[in-house]
């Protein structure tokens, strides 16, 4: 007797859910006890995410097989074959349902009729009447429908078969008594508006639904909640094409929120090209998150006219963070006066107010600012720590003493001095003169045809009478006939939503003053992109 008693299976424990003493098994909470599950959800007040996780674990395999597999795929020949076992009969039944649903949708389209609205979605204070077949375009609505259907019938397979049975137009008119299912969806995402959600539901019926740019964020959020991948990808594509100074912040934050890496990359790439020439001159610069700004400033692909232009942009950004009431961007002298107004005992970045901005300026290549006028601004603005200023001026002093050799810069990708040209097809020739440690260069871009361009840099003599005053003024002059330069010329343009990149790759060359040695390698490209961002990066190796 004792042996027989020990062989008996352990009894299942049960517990109470809700206020009406509904018993439910605790070890296997979803084993057919759907009413208990429903009461548990209402009693605990769980939100939609928790509900959907419970629905995923429902022990109704036959129904799940039909809704997630049979409906979306064509029934195979094997699944349609007759079989006497109960398991194969169930599989055949699911395949038949899938085939009937396909025929029924085809007949409805051919007769310009829609199936009856047999599902009501309660959401955002509205009741949305939906058709059951279109429901399966949304992963979330499919789960909610399975959950609701399981509680409405003791034989969900049979009930679902009635809903999916192919009907002729005459039968639709005669037989309209279909059980209505009511499902509820709670949305806490502030991006979802009623208009955007309505657009998302409309897209369940047609892939050609037009999405307005002003609603794209809300539609993206709605598509994410509904698990409607087709609509979500459409919104992402629209947002990539719609990045601008006024949308970069909201698009980037949405991309991070929904972990959409392709949109994050698109925002970062757009900002790398447009931070200095476009958004750096607009009030929208204020909206750029600090983490995004730092990432762009660290990038070796960021476009700038000079290293000093990147510094100015960073100073403007800090100024706008501290003056939130401004509605337009001020002149540069106003920014300088603001930082210079702080007490001289402590530079701005060492103050409690400025310490949070310190990582931004660690991303800059301050050693690439060599103009005497710009160095005077850095020295007197009372912004940088004293140790930074000592290091910057010491590097310049040693480079000048050694004929331009940059002991402090060895890696071209992370330490090169950068200059840039913005080619917007208004002119045929673009040119800029630059001076570094007494050596003068002309960076040049030439338009040869509608889509053909060439770019190069060329050393020029210090005695040239056409040197711009901003370059020649207070600039040292080197008498060395040759200068070893490691450089790279890179051009980038946006074509049909994709960035085209062209490069000479890193090259090392001695630049002399005669025609045969003064000119760099020429980068030749063909592109329909406009504008074209051309970057010249170089260092003077130890020679």
d(C-alpha 134, C-alpha 206), whole Å: 10
Edge-to-edge strand ranges of the sheet holding 181-184:
126-130, 119-123, 181-184
d(C-alpha 148, C-alpha 156), whole Å: 10
Q: Are residues 395 and 479 in the same domain?
A: no
Asked if residue 421 lies in contact with residue 525, where contact means CB atoms within 8 angstroms, the answer is: no
**Does residue 520 have a pLDDT over 90?**
yes
d(C-alpha 432, C-alpha 441), whole Å: 8
Q: What is the per-residue pLDDT for 273?
A: 97
Domain span at residue 332 reads 304-402
Q: Are residues 130 and 222 in the same domain?
A: yes
The bridge status of strand 119-123 relative to strand 181-184 is parallel
Helix (H, G, I), strand (E, B) or coil at 507: strand
Q: Are residues 451 and 341 in the same domain?
A: no
Q: State whether the Cα torsion 284-290-291-293 is positive or negative.
A: positive
Q: Are residues 147 and 194 in the same domain?
A: yes
Residue 35 lies in a domain: no
Q: In this structure, how many other beta carbons lie within 10 angstroms of the beta carbon of residue 391?
A: 15
Residue 383 lies in a domain: yes
User: What average pLDDT does the chain have?
Assistant: 79
Q: Are residues 339 and 437 in the same domain?
A: no
Looking at 221, 242, 263, which one is the last position of a domain? 242
Instruction: Tally the domains of the chain.
Output: 3
192 Ramachandran zone, left/alpha/beta (phi>0; psi -120 to 50): beta
Looking at 376, 402, 428, which one is the last position of a domain? 402
The HSE-up count of residue 103 (CA atoms within 13 Å, CB side) is: 14
Looking at 242, 274, 289, which one is the last position of a domain? 242
Please tell me the least confidently modeled range out of 201-210, 299-308, 433-442, 468-477: 468-477
Reference 440, options 448, 431, 430; nearest CA is 431
Per cent of the chain over pLDDT 70 is 73
Residue 84 lies in a domain: no
d(C-alpha 510, C-alpha 508), whole Å: 7
Q: In this structure, how many other beta carbons lie within 10 angstroms of the beta carbon of residue 150?
A: 21
Please tell me the least confidently modeled range out of 64-73, 170-179, 195-204, 378-387: 64-73
Could you tell me the pLDDT band of residue 117, with boundaries at 50, 70 and 90? Answer: low
Mean pLDDT of all residues in 402-409: 92
Residue 500 lies in a domain: yes
Please tell me the least confidently modeled range out of 29-38, 367-376, 389-398, 421-430: 29-38
Q: What is the per-residue pLDDT for 85?
A: 34
d(C-alpha 417, C-alpha 441), whole Å: 13
Could you tell me the pLDDT band of residue 510, with boundaries at 50, 70 and 90? Answer: very high
Kindly report the backbone phi and psi dihedral angles of residue 494, in degrees, each rounded to the nearest multiple of 5, phi listed first: -100, 125
Q: 282-338 pLDDT, tens per residue?
A: 999 999 999 999 999 999 999 999 999 999 999 999 999 999 999 999 999 999 999
């Amino acid at each position: 007797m004792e042996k027989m008693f020990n062989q008996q299976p352990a009894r299942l424990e049960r517990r109470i859910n809700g206020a009406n003493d509904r018993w439910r098994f605790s070890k296997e909470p979803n084993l057919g006890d759907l009413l208990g599950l429903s009461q548990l959800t209402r009693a605990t007040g769980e939100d939609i995410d928790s509900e959907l996780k419970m629905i995923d674990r429902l022990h109704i395999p036959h129904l799940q097989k039909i809704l997630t597999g049979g409906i979306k795929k064509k029934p195979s020949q094997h699944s349609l074959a007759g079989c006497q076992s109960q398991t194969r009969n169930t599989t055949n039944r699911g395949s038949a349902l899938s085939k009937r649903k396909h025929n029924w949708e085809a007949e409805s389209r051919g007769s310009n009729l829609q199936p009856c609205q047999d599902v009501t979605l309660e959401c955002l204070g509205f009741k949305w009447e939906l058709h059951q077949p279109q429901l399966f375009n949304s992963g979330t609505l499919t789960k909610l429908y399975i959950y609701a259907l399981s509680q409405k019938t003791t034989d969900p397979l049979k009930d679902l078969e009635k809903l999916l049975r192919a009907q002729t137009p005459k039968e639709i008119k005669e037989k309209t008594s279909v059980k209505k299912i009511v499902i509820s969806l709670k949305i806490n995402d502030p991006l979802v508006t009623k208009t955007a959600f309505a657009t998302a539901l409309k897209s369940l019926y047609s892939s050609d639904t037009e999405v307005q740019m002003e609603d794209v964020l809300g539609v993206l959020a709605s598509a994410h909640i509904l698990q409607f991948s087709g609509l979500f990808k459409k919104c992402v594509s629209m947002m990539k094409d719609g990045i601008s100074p006024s949308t970069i912040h909201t698009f980037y934050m949405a991309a991070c929120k929904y972990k959409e890496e392709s949109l994050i990359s698109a925002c970062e790439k757009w900002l790398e090209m447009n931070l200095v020439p476009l958004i750096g001159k607009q009030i929208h610069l204020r909206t750029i998150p600090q983490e995004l700004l730092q990432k762009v400033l660290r990038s070796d692909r960021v476009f700038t006219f000079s290293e000093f232009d990147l510094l100015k942009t960073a100073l403007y950004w800090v100024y706008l963070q501290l003056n939130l009431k401004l509605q337009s961007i001020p002149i540069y002298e106003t920014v300088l006066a603001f930082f210079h107004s702080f007490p001289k005992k402590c530079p701005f970045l060492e103050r409690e107010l400025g310490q949070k901005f310190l990582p931004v300026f660690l991303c800059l290549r301050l050693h690439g600012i060599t103009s005497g006028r710009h160095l005077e601004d850095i020295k007197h603005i009372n912004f940088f720590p004293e140790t930074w200023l000592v290091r910057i001026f010491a590097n310049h002093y040693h480079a000048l003493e050694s004929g331009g050799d940059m002991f402090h810069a060895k890696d071209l990708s992370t330490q090169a001095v950068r200059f840039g040209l913005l080619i917007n097809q208004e002119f045929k020739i673009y040119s800029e003169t630059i001076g570094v440690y007494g050596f003068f260069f002309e960076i040049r871009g030439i338009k040869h045809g509608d889509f053909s361009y060439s770019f190069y840099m060329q050393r020029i003599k210090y005695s040239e009478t056409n040197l711009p005053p901003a370059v020649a003024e207070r600039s040292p002059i080197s008498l060395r006939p040759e200068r070893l330069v490691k450089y790279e010329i890179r051009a980038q343009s946006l074509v049909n939503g994709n960035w085209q990149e062209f490069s000479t790759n890193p090259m090392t060359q001695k630049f002399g003053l005669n025609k045969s040695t003064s000119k760099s390698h020429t980068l030749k490209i063909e592109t329909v992109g406009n504008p074209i961002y051309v970057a010249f990066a170089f260092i003077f190796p130890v020679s």
